[in-house]
Amino acid sequence: MNINRDYTTVNPDNTGARGRKGVKSDYRWIVIHYVGNADANGFETTAKNNCIYYRDAKVGASANYYVDSTGVYQSVPWDSDRYAWHCGVGIGNENKYQYLLNDGVSQCNNATALGVEICVCKLSVKTKNVGDTDWYFNEATYDHAVEFVRYLMDFFDIDISHVVRHQDVNSIHKRCPRPFTSDDVNVYYKKTGNTLWKEFKEKLAAVDTPPKQPEAPTASILYRVRKSWADAASQLGAFSSLKNAEALADKNAGYYVFDDTGRMLYPEVSTAAVCQAYQVNAPDGLNLRSTPNSSDSGNIVKILGENTYVLALKEQEDGWVYVKYTGDNRVYEGWVYKPFLSISAGLYGKMVSSPDGTLNIRTKPGIKGSVIAVMGNGFGFTVLEPVPGTNWGLIWCGETIGYCDISNAYSYRV
Ligand SMILES: [Zn+2]
Protein backbone atom coordinates (compact mmCIF):
# COMPACT_ATOMS: atom_id res chain seq x y z
CA MET A 1 0.00 0.00 0.00
CA ASN A 2 1.32 3.40 -0.93
CA ILE A 3 1.81 5.74 2.01
CA ASN A 4 1.65 9.45 1.18
CA ARG A 5 3.52 11.72 3.52
CA ASP A 6 2.63 15.22 4.57
CA TYR A 7 4.16 15.79 7.97
CA THR A 8 2.75 18.24 10.48
CA THR A 9 4.81 21.41 10.69
CA VAL A 10 3.39 22.89 13.86
CA ASN A 11 5.64 21.03 16.25
CA PRO A 12 5.76 21.03 19.16
CA ASP A 13 2.16 22.11 19.54
CA ASN A 14 0.68 18.85 18.32
CA THR A 15 3.32 16.28 19.24
CA GLY A 16 5.46 15.14 22.16
CA ALA A 17 9.24 14.97 22.50
CA ARG A 18 10.92 11.61 22.92
CA GLY A 19 14.38 13.07 23.45
CA ARG A 20 15.86 10.81 20.79
CA LYS A 21 14.85 9.36 17.47
CA GLY A 22 12.07 6.78 17.53
CA VAL A 23 12.93 3.18 16.72
CA LYS A 24 10.67 0.32 15.70
CA SER A 25 10.83 -1.34 19.09
CA ASP A 26 9.37 1.78 20.75
CA TYR A 27 6.00 0.84 19.27
CA ARG A 28 4.14 -2.01 20.92
CA TRP A 29 0.55 -0.86 20.37
CA ILE A 30 -1.72 0.35 17.56
CA VAL A 31 -4.63 2.58 18.61
CA ILE A 32 -7.58 2.89 16.20
CA HIS A 33 -9.53 6.16 15.97
CA TYR A 34 -12.15 7.71 13.72
CA VAL A 35 -11.80 11.30 12.53
CA GLY A 36 -15.25 12.21 13.85
CA ASN A 37 -16.26 14.39 10.92
CA ALA A 38 -18.01 13.93 7.58
CA ASP A 39 -18.60 16.39 4.73
CA ALA A 40 -21.87 18.26 4.02
CA ASN A 41 -23.27 15.23 2.21
CA GLY A 42 -22.25 12.76 4.89
CA PHE A 43 -19.34 11.40 2.87
CA GLU A 44 -15.89 11.04 4.31
CA THR A 45 -13.52 13.95 4.65
CA THR A 46 -10.40 12.61 2.95
CA ALA A 47 -7.21 11.34 4.53
CA LYS A 48 -5.38 14.00 2.57
CA ASN A 49 -7.54 16.84 3.89
CA ASN A 50 -7.37 15.59 7.46
CA CYS A 51 -3.61 15.32 7.10
CA ILE A 52 -3.41 18.89 5.79
CA TYR A 53 -5.63 20.15 8.61
CA TYR A 54 -3.46 18.57 11.28
CA ARG A 55 -0.35 19.68 9.43
CA ASP A 56 -1.28 23.34 9.79
CA ALA A 57 -3.69 23.76 12.71
CA LYS A 58 -2.52 24.08 16.27
CA VAL A 59 -5.12 21.82 17.86
CA GLY A 60 -3.00 20.06 20.44
CA ALA A 61 -3.56 16.66 18.87
CA SER A 62 -2.13 14.56 16.06
CA ALA A 63 -2.05 11.05 14.67
CA ASN A 64 0.51 9.04 12.77
CA TYR A 65 -1.77 7.95 9.92
CA TYR A 66 -5.07 8.77 8.21
CA VAL A 67 -6.84 6.11 6.15
CA ASP A 68 -9.61 6.66 3.58
CA SER A 69 -11.12 5.00 0.53
CA THR A 70 -8.11 5.86 -1.63
CA GLY A 71 -5.21 5.12 0.69
CA VAL A 72 -3.07 6.34 3.58
CA TYR A 73 -1.58 9.69 4.55
CA GLN A 74 1.10 9.95 7.20
CA SER A 75 1.22 13.02 9.42
CA VAL A 76 3.76 12.13 12.13
CA PRO A 77 6.75 9.94 11.22
CA TRP A 78 7.49 7.10 13.66
CA ASP A 79 11.26 7.46 13.44
CA SER A 80 11.53 11.15 14.25
CA ASP A 81 12.26 12.40 17.76
CA ARG A 82 8.61 13.33 18.30
CA TYR A 83 5.55 11.16 18.79
CA ALA A 84 1.91 11.83 17.98
CA TRP A 85 -0.63 12.93 20.58
CA HIS A 86 -3.63 10.72 19.93
CA CYS A 87 -4.57 8.61 22.91
CA GLY A 88 -4.37 11.16 25.66
CA VAL A 89 -1.79 9.36 27.72
CA GLY A 90 1.47 11.21 27.45
CA ILE A 91 4.49 10.34 29.49
CA GLY A 92 3.83 11.93 32.86
CA ASN A 93 0.27 12.85 31.92
CA GLU A 94 -1.59 9.85 33.24
CA ASN A 95 -4.80 10.84 34.94
CA LYS A 96 -7.52 9.12 36.86
CA TYR A 97 -9.94 9.00 33.95
CA GLN A 98 -7.67 6.78 31.92
CA TYR A 99 -7.41 3.03 32.03
CA LEU A 100 -3.65 3.00 31.50
CA LEU A 101 -3.85 -0.16 29.40
CA ASN A 102 -0.81 -2.18 30.32
CA ASP A 103 0.29 -5.63 29.20
CA GLY A 104 2.74 -6.08 32.07
CA VAL A 105 5.60 -5.06 29.81
CA SER A 106 4.57 -1.75 28.34
CA GLN A 107 1.92 0.85 28.94
CA CYS A 108 -0.14 1.95 25.97
CA ASN A 109 0.54 5.66 25.66
CA ASN A 110 1.41 8.23 23.02
CA ALA A 111 5.07 7.25 23.08
CA THR A 112 4.44 3.52 22.67
CA ALA A 113 1.42 3.52 20.36
CA LEU A 114 0.88 4.37 16.72
CA GLY A 115 -2.36 6.30 16.14
CA VAL A 116 -4.41 5.36 13.06
CA GLU A 117 -7.36 7.62 12.21
CA ILE A 118 -10.02 6.17 9.93
CA CYS A 119 -12.09 8.58 7.84
CA VAL A 120 -15.80 8.15 8.37
CA CYS A 121 -19.21 8.72 6.74
CA LYS A 122 -22.58 9.61 8.29
CA LEU A 123 -26.11 8.73 7.12
CA SER A 124 -27.67 11.95 8.39
CA VAL A 125 -25.83 15.25 8.60
CA LYS A 126 -28.53 16.98 10.66
CA THR A 127 -26.35 16.32 13.66
CA LYS A 128 -22.74 15.18 13.93
CA ASN A 129 -22.65 14.13 17.56
CA VAL A 130 -20.61 11.33 19.02
CA GLY A 131 -23.81 9.86 20.47
CA ASP A 132 -25.34 9.42 17.00
CA THR A 133 -25.60 5.82 15.86
CA ASP A 134 -25.21 6.39 12.10
CA TRP A 135 -21.45 6.90 11.72
CA TYR A 136 -20.07 4.28 9.35
CA PHE A 137 -17.02 3.49 7.28
CA ASN A 138 -17.04 3.43 3.49
CA GLU A 139 -16.44 -0.19 2.42
CA ALA A 140 -13.20 0.64 0.61
CA THR A 141 -11.99 2.61 3.62
CA TYR A 142 -12.77 -0.31 5.91
CA ASP A 143 -10.82 -2.66 3.65
CA HIS A 144 -7.91 -0.23 3.47
CA ALA A 145 -7.90 0.05 7.26
CA VAL A 146 -7.70 -3.76 7.59
CA GLU A 147 -4.94 -3.96 5.01
CA PHE A 148 -2.96 -1.06 6.44
CA VAL A 149 -3.21 -2.03 10.12
CA ARG A 150 -2.16 -5.53 9.17
CA TYR A 151 0.84 -4.05 7.39
CA LEU A 152 1.74 -2.02 10.52
CA MET A 153 1.40 -5.12 12.71
CA ASP A 154 3.86 -6.98 10.52
CA PHE A 155 6.28 -4.09 10.11
CA PHE A 156 6.43 -3.27 13.83
CA ASP A 157 5.93 -6.85 15.02
CA ILE A 158 2.76 -6.01 16.96
CA ASP A 159 0.31 -8.81 17.68
CA ILE A 160 -3.47 -8.65 17.47
CA SER A 161 -3.90 -8.26 21.25
CA HIS A 162 -2.03 -4.95 21.01
CA VAL A 163 -4.41 -3.47 18.44
CA VAL A 164 -6.87 -1.50 20.55
CA ARG A 165 -9.50 1.22 20.30
CA HIS A 166 -8.96 4.72 21.60
CA GLN A 167 -11.72 3.85 24.08
CA ASP A 168 -9.76 0.88 25.40
CA VAL A 169 -6.80 2.99 26.41
CA ASN A 170 -8.69 6.11 27.46
CA SER A 171 -12.05 5.44 29.08
CA ILE A 172 -15.50 4.09 28.32
CA HIS A 173 -16.66 7.69 27.92
CA LYS A 174 -14.36 8.16 24.92
CA ARG A 175 -16.51 6.70 22.15
CA CYS A 176 -13.75 6.52 19.59
CA PRO A 177 -13.78 5.03 16.99
CA ARG A 178 -17.55 5.50 17.25
CA PRO A 179 -18.67 2.82 14.73
CA PHE A 180 -16.63 0.29 16.72
CA THR A 181 -17.78 1.23 20.23
CA SER A 182 -20.73 0.74 22.57
CA ASP A 183 -23.63 -1.68 22.77
CA ASP A 184 -26.19 0.49 20.97
CA VAL A 185 -27.10 -0.73 17.48
CA ASN A 186 -25.50 1.10 14.58
CA VAL A 187 -28.21 2.16 12.11
CA TYR A 188 -26.05 1.51 9.05
CA TYR A 189 -24.63 -1.86 10.03
CA LYS A 190 -27.60 -3.08 12.16
CA LYS A 191 -25.07 -4.36 14.66
CA THR A 192 -23.57 -3.00 17.86
CA GLY A 193 -20.24 -1.19 17.82
CA ASN A 194 -18.69 -3.79 20.09
CA THR A 195 -19.72 -6.55 17.63
CA LEU A 196 -18.30 -4.55 14.72
CA TRP A 197 -14.99 -4.13 16.56
CA LYS A 198 -14.83 -7.87 17.17
CA GLU A 199 -15.39 -8.46 13.44
CA PHE A 200 -12.73 -5.90 12.51
CA LYS A 201 -10.20 -7.69 14.70
CA GLU A 202 -11.18 -11.06 13.25
CA LYS A 203 -10.54 -9.63 9.78
CA LEU A 204 -7.13 -8.39 10.90
CA ALA A 205 -6.24 -11.80 12.24
CA ALA A 206 -7.46 -13.52 9.07
CA VAL A 207 -5.60 -11.44 6.49
CA ASP A 208 -2.75 -13.33 4.92
CA THR A 209 0.51 -11.86 6.10
CA PRO A 210 1.75 -9.77 3.18
CA PRO A 211 5.38 -10.07 2.18
CA LYS A 212 7.51 -7.98 4.52
CA GLN A 213 7.97 -4.50 3.19
CA PRO A 214 11.52 -3.32 2.95
CA GLU A 215 12.78 -1.15 5.79
CA ALA A 216 12.42 2.59 5.32
CA PRO A 217 14.83 3.59 2.56
CA THR A 218 17.09 5.57 4.88
CA ALA A 219 17.44 2.71 7.31
CA SER A 220 19.94 0.30 5.81
CA ILE A 221 20.48 -1.93 8.82
CA LEU A 222 23.79 -3.59 9.44
CA TYR A 223 23.72 -6.85 11.36
CA ARG A 224 26.81 -7.06 13.55
CA VAL A 225 28.32 -10.26 14.89
CA ARG A 226 29.81 -9.69 18.35
CA LYS A 227 30.21 -11.33 21.75
CA SER A 228 28.12 -8.58 23.28
CA TRP A 229 26.87 -5.26 21.98
CA ALA A 230 29.06 -3.39 24.47
CA ASP A 231 32.16 -5.28 23.32
CA ALA A 232 32.60 -3.63 19.91
CA ALA A 233 36.16 -4.91 19.68
CA SER A 234 34.86 -8.48 19.51
CA GLN A 235 33.06 -7.78 16.21
CA LEU A 236 33.75 -10.45 13.59
CA GLY A 237 31.79 -8.79 10.82
CA ALA A 238 28.85 -6.60 9.81
CA PHE A 239 26.35 -7.67 7.14
CA SER A 240 23.37 -6.19 5.39
CA SER A 241 22.02 -9.73 5.15
CA LEU A 242 20.75 -11.17 8.42
CA LYS A 243 21.22 -14.71 7.07
CA ASN A 244 24.93 -14.12 6.42
CA ALA A 245 25.37 -12.66 9.90
CA GLU A 246 23.61 -15.67 11.44
CA ALA A 247 25.82 -18.07 9.50
CA LEU A 248 28.95 -16.41 10.91
CA ALA A 249 27.52 -16.50 14.46
CA ASP A 250 26.75 -20.22 13.99
CA LYS A 251 30.42 -20.90 13.28
CA ASN A 252 31.60 -19.01 16.37
CA ALA A 253 30.36 -20.15 19.74
CA GLY A 254 29.56 -17.31 22.13
CA TYR A 255 28.85 -14.78 19.35
CA TYR A 256 25.53 -13.11 18.67
CA VAL A 257 23.92 -11.02 15.92
CA PHE A 258 22.82 -7.47 16.87
CA ASP A 259 20.77 -4.89 15.00
CA ASP A 260 21.64 -1.17 14.89
CA THR A 261 19.96 -0.50 18.21
CA GLY A 262 21.93 -3.21 19.97
CA ARG A 263 19.02 -5.61 20.16
CA MET A 264 20.21 -9.19 20.16
CA LEU A 265 18.51 -10.98 17.27
CA TYR A 266 20.27 -14.31 17.06
CA PRO A 267 20.62 -16.86 18.55
CA GLU A 268 17.51 -16.00 20.46
CA VAL A 269 18.37 -14.97 23.97
CA SER A 270 16.36 -16.90 26.47
CA THR A 271 14.32 -14.61 28.64
CA ALA A 272 12.92 -15.69 31.96
CA ALA A 273 9.84 -14.05 33.38
CA VAL A 274 10.44 -13.06 36.97
CA CYS A 275 8.84 -10.87 39.54
CA GLN A 276 11.50 -9.74 41.94
CA ALA A 277 12.28 -6.48 43.69
CA TYR A 278 15.88 -5.31 43.59
CA GLN A 279 17.75 -2.36 45.00
CA VAL A 280 20.20 -0.37 42.91
CA ASN A 281 23.76 -0.90 44.01
CA ALA A 282 25.66 1.76 42.04
CA PRO A 283 27.01 4.83 43.90
CA ASP A 284 27.11 6.89 40.69
CA GLY A 285 23.61 5.89 39.64
CA LEU A 286 22.36 3.25 37.24
CA ASN A 287 21.09 3.97 33.74
CA LEU A 288 17.55 2.80 32.97
CA ARG A 289 17.52 2.25 29.21
CA SER A 290 14.88 1.75 26.54
CA THR A 291 16.94 -1.04 24.94
CA PRO A 292 19.28 -3.62 26.48
CA ASN A 293 22.36 -1.89 25.18
CA SER A 294 24.94 0.01 27.18
CA SER A 295 26.79 1.74 24.34
CA ASP A 296 23.92 3.93 23.13
CA SER A 297 23.78 7.19 25.08
CA GLY A 298 20.48 8.01 23.36
CA ASN A 299 18.52 5.23 25.02
CA ILE A 300 18.80 6.41 28.63
CA VAL A 301 15.32 6.90 30.07
CA LYS A 302 16.31 7.79 33.63
CA ILE A 303 19.28 7.59 35.96
CA LEU A 304 18.34 5.61 39.06
CA GLY A 305 19.98 6.65 42.32
CA GLU A 306 21.81 4.39 44.75
CA ASN A 307 19.40 2.23 46.82
CA THR A 308 16.44 2.94 44.49
CA TYR A 309 13.99 0.05 44.37
CA VAL A 310 13.00 -1.49 41.04
CA LEU A 311 10.74 -4.42 40.18
CA ALA A 312 12.22 -6.90 37.69
CA LEU A 313 9.73 -8.46 35.25
CA LYS A 314 12.05 -10.41 32.98
CA GLU A 315 15.70 -11.28 32.88
CA GLN A 316 17.85 -12.13 29.87
CA GLU A 317 20.71 -14.54 30.13
CA ASP A 318 23.09 -11.81 28.91
CA GLY A 319 22.57 -9.91 32.17
CA TRP A 320 19.95 -7.38 31.10
CA VAL A 321 16.86 -7.08 33.27
CA TYR A 322 13.57 -5.41 32.32
CA VAL A 323 12.31 -3.41 35.30
CA LYS A 324 9.66 -0.99 36.48
CA TYR A 325 10.47 2.01 38.60
CA THR A 326 7.93 4.38 40.17
CA GLY A 327 9.05 7.94 40.82
CA ASP A 328 8.41 11.56 39.82
CA ASN A 329 4.68 10.71 39.97
CA ARG A 330 4.91 8.24 37.11
CA VAL A 331 5.94 4.71 36.20
CA TYR A 332 9.09 4.13 34.20
CA GLU A 333 9.98 0.90 32.44
CA GLY A 334 13.21 -0.14 30.81
CA TRP A 335 16.38 -2.19 30.94
CA VAL A 336 19.14 -2.19 33.57
CA TYR A 337 22.26 -4.28 33.93
CA LYS A 338 21.94 -6.90 36.65
CA PRO A 339 25.42 -6.70 38.22
CA PHE A 340 24.32 -3.32 39.66
CA LEU A 341 21.29 -4.79 41.42
CA SER A 342 21.06 -6.51 44.75
CA ILE A 343 18.28 -8.24 46.62
CA SER A 344 17.32 -6.36 49.73
CA ALA A 345 16.92 -7.93 53.17
CA GLY A 346 14.38 -6.92 55.78
CA LEU A 347 11.32 -6.65 53.55
CA TYR A 348 8.03 -7.80 55.00
CA GLY A 349 4.65 -8.90 53.76
CA LYS A 350 1.18 -7.51 54.48
CA MET A 351 -2.35 -8.57 53.55
CA VAL A 352 -5.00 -6.07 52.45
CA SER A 353 -7.91 -5.77 54.88
CA SER A 354 -9.63 -2.51 54.08
CA PRO A 355 -12.99 -1.26 55.41
CA ASP A 356 -14.10 -0.41 51.86
CA GLY A 357 -12.66 -3.58 50.35
CA THR A 358 -9.84 -2.05 48.29
CA LEU A 359 -6.47 -0.37 48.63
CA ASN A 360 -4.98 1.74 45.84
CA ILE A 361 -1.38 1.64 44.62
CA ARG A 362 -0.32 5.12 43.52
CA THR A 363 2.51 6.83 41.67
CA LYS A 364 3.57 8.78 44.77
CA PRO A 365 2.86 8.78 48.50
CA GLY A 366 -0.45 10.46 49.39
CA ILE A 367 -3.79 10.59 47.64
CA LYS A 368 -2.56 13.04 45.01
CA GLY A 369 -0.62 10.24 43.35
CA SER A 370 -2.32 8.68 40.31
CA VAL A 371 -3.79 5.23 40.88
CA ILE A 372 -1.73 2.56 39.09
CA ALA A 373 -3.53 -0.52 40.40
CA VAL A 374 -6.18 -1.50 42.91
CA MET A 375 -5.71 -4.32 45.42
CA GLY A 376 -8.71 -6.08 46.90
CA ASN A 377 -9.03 -7.50 50.41
CA GLY A 378 -6.89 -10.62 50.68
CA PHE A 379 -4.22 -9.36 48.28
CA GLY A 380 -0.72 -9.84 49.63
CA PHE A 381 1.97 -7.23 49.08
CA THR A 382 5.56 -6.66 50.09
CA VAL A 383 6.65 -3.48 51.84
CA LEU A 384 9.95 -2.31 50.36
CA GLU A 385 10.46 0.98 52.17
CA PRO A 386 8.26 3.07 54.48
CA VAL A 387 8.09 6.78 53.62
CA PRO A 388 9.41 8.55 56.74
CA GLY A 389 6.91 10.66 58.67
CA THR A 390 3.87 9.24 56.84
CA ASN A 391 1.61 6.17 56.84
CA TRP A 392 2.77 5.49 53.29
CA GLY A 393 5.29 3.09 51.89
CA LEU A 394 6.78 1.85 48.63
CA ILE A 395 5.31 -1.57 47.99
CA TRP A 396 5.27 -4.30 45.41
CA CYS A 397 2.22 -6.38 44.47
CA GLY A 398 2.16 -8.64 41.42
CA GLU A 399 3.74 -6.76 38.54
CA THR A 400 3.17 -3.35 40.11
CA ILE A 401 5.54 -1.24 42.17
CA GLY A 402 4.20 1.93 43.79
CA TYR A 403 2.98 3.60 46.94
CA CYS A 404 0.10 2.76 49.25
CA ASP A 405 -1.06 3.50 52.77
CA ILE A 406 0.70 0.78 54.76
CA SER A 407 -0.95 1.58 58.10
CA ASN A 408 -2.78 -1.18 59.95
CA ALA A 409 -6.10 0.48 59.10
CA TYR A 410 -5.94 -1.07 55.62
CA SER A 411 -3.71 -4.12 55.96
CA TYR A 412 -2.18 -6.48 58.49
CA ARG A 413 1.25 -7.99 58.81
CA VAL A 414 1.69 -11.61 57.67
ZN1 LIG B 1 -9.63 8.83 19.06
Q: Across the chain, what does the average pLDDT equal?
A: 87
- Which pLDDT belongs to residue 16? 85
216 part of a folded domain: no
Q: Are residues 186 and 327 in the same domain?
A: no
Radius of gyration of the chain (CA): 24
Ligand 1 center–CA 86 separation, angstroms = 6
Taking only the tens place, the pLDDT of each residue in 254-308 is 888 888 777 778 887 667 777 889 999 999 999 999 888 887 777 888 999 999 9
Is pLDDT above 60 for 240? yes
Ligand 1 center–CA 155 separation, angstroms = 22
Ligand 1 center–CA 117 separation, angstroms = 7
Q: Are residues 195 and 63 in the same domain?
A: yes
Is pLDDT above 50 for 133? yes
C-alpha span between 136 and 42 (Å, rounded)? 10
Q: Are residues 128 and 34 in the same domain?
A: yes
211 part of a folded domain: no
CATH of residue 162's domain is 3.40.80.10
Is pLDDT above 70 for 185? yes
Q: Which domain holds residue 50?
A: 3-206
- Which pLDDT belongs to residue 392? 97
Ligand 1 center–CA 347 separation, angstroms = 43
**Over the range 234-264, which residues count as b (16 or more CB within 10 Å of their CB) and which as e?**
beebbbeeeeebbebbeeeeebbbbbebbbb
CATH of residue 298's domain is 2.30.30.40
Ligand 1 center–CA 98 separation, angstroms = 13
Q: Are residues 187 and 41 in the same domain?
A: yes
Q: Are residues 187 and 278 in the same domain?
A: no
Ligand 1 center–CA 398 separation, angstroms = 31
Ligand 1 center–CA 253 separation, angstroms = 49
- Which pLDDT belongs to residue 57? 84
Backbone angles phi, psi at 160, to 5 degrees: -60, -30
Where does the pLDDT of residue 209 fall: very low under 50, low under 70, confident under 90, or very high at 90 and above?
Answer: low
Ligand 1 center–CA 143 separation, angstroms = 19
- Which pLDDT belongs to residue 89? 59
Q: Are residues 169 and 60 in the same domain?
A: yes
Ligand 1 center–CA 341 separation, angstroms = 41
94 part of a folded domain: yes
Q: Are residues 25 and 65 in the same domain?
A: yes
Q: Are residues 252 and 118 in the same domain?
A: no
Taking only the tens place, the pLDDT of each residue in 349-408 is 999 999 988 899 999 999 888 888 888 888 889 999 999 999 999 999 988 899 999 999
**Percentage of the chain exceeding pLDDT 90:** 52
**Nearest to residue 338, comparing CAs of 309, 368, 318?**
318
- Torsion, CA 266, CA 272, CA 276, CA 280, rounded to 10: -20
Ligand 1 center–CA 33 separation, angstroms = 4
Q: Are residues 141 and 20 in the same domain?
A: yes
Q: Are residues 98 and 245 in the same domain?
A: no
Residue ending a domain, among 322, 342, 362, is 342
213 part of a folded domain: no
58 part of a folded domain: yes
Residue ending a domain, among 279, 313, 342, is 342
143 part of a folded domain: yes
Ligand 1 center–CA 277 separation, angstroms = 36
Residue ending a domain, among 171, 206, 241, is 206
Ligand 1 center–CA 170 separation, angstroms = 9
Ligand 1 center–CA 129 separation, angstroms = 14
Question: What is the total count of domains within the chain?
Answer: 4
- Which pLDDT belongs to residue 208? 59
Taking only the tens place, the pLDDT of each residue in 29-84 is 999 999 999 998 889 999 999 999 988 888 888 999 999 988 899 999 999 888 99
Ligand 1 center–CA 172 separation, angstroms = 12
Ligand 1 center–CA 62 separation, angstroms = 10
- Which pLDDT belongs to residue 217? 42
12 part of a folded domain: yes
Ligand 1 center–CA 119 separation, angstroms = 11
166 part of a folded domain: yes
Q: Are residues 34 and 146 in the same domain?
A: yes
Q: Are residues 281 and 192 in the same domain?
A: no
Ligand 1 center–CA 289 separation, angstroms = 30
Ligand 1 center–CA 131 separation, angstroms = 14
